[in-house]
Structure formats: C-alpha cells, structure tokens
Amino acid sequence: MTLQLIRELVARYPLFLRKLRARTEYEWRWQFLCEDGWFDLLDTACIGIESECRYALEKQGQSIPNLPYFAGAMRTHWELVLKVRNSTENSRCVTEIVRSAAHSICERCGAHTSDYSVRRSSFCEDCTQRRSDGR
C-alpha cells in the first residue's frame, strides 16, 4: 500500500493505530502487505474498531493499553488478513467481515470481481492481465 494511503489511515484512527504511530514511516509499509485496492476495506474496518476503542475509553473507562490495536494487514491465500491485538468479539467480527469482503474486491484496483475461489487470485481479470504483461 502506498505511504500516502497509510498516512491517511494513521491520521484518521489514532487510537486503533496508536502502536503504528510510534514507528517510522519507513516501517509502516511493512505493516500493510497488500495493495491499494483494499484501502476502502481497511478504512471500513478501522472505523469500526476505532469507534469501539473510543466507546471503551470514554464510556467504560478502560485504559489505553487495554484497547484493541492494529498489528498488521496482509494478503494470505488471496484473502485480506487484519491482525488485531487485544481483540474483542466486535473486532474479531469486523476482521472476519473484511476478510470475507476481500474475496470479491480486486486488491490492486478495488473493482468488484467474481469470487476468489473461482479466480484463485486477489486480482480482477484486467489487473491479472496487466500484471502478466508487466504493467
């Protein structure tokens, strides 16, 4: 994922991405091992988990070290895997929804595609062709 998109996520979700903020921008790229097409999925997941963090902090009086936090996002076997530490039932549900949604979204361009079990790839047909052509 491009550094610009990662910066957007870090700026929008300071509680959920708090451990990432402590690292250098160079290290950020190693925490997002997927391409730009899945940005919207990651953004949606971060909204849900950031909201949970804010609620737990403000309404339930939990301390920041006990809140869920981001530990990485990657493509594994054509799926988007979002790693969350200190996870809760809500954050586990959010990560499962994102994993399932990634099956029908191209990792490179974000276009809706046929199910990955048919394609055996995280890319749509156009991006797969461009990739094989070297573009």
The pLDDT tens digits of the residues spanning 91-129 come to 999 999 999 999 889 998 998 886 554 556 778 888 878
pLDDT of 28-87, one tens digit each? 888 999 999 999 999 999 999 999 999 999 988 888 899 999 999 999 877 899 999 999
Token pair in block for residue 92? 């586990």
Question: Measured between alpha carbons, how far is 63 from 81 in angstroms, rounded to an integer?
Answer: 26
Residue 65 makes CB contacts below 8 A (sequence gap 6+) with none
In total, the chain counts a number of residues equal to 135
Q: 21 vs 11, 63, 64, 129, CA distance in Å?
A: 9, 18, 14, 36
pLDDT of 74-100, one tens digit each? 998 778 999 999 999 999 999 999 999
Question: Measured between alpha carbons, how far is 3 from 37 in angstroms, rounded to an integer?
Answer: 14
Q: Where are the domains of the chain?
A: 3-17+30-63+78-133
Question: Measured between alpha carbons, how far is 83 from 62 in angstroms, rounded to an integer?
Answer: 21
How many C-beta atoms surround the C-beta of residue 12 within 10 A?
A: 13
pTM: 0.86
Question: Measured between alpha carbons, how far is 45 from 70 in angstroms, rounded to an integer?
Answer: 11
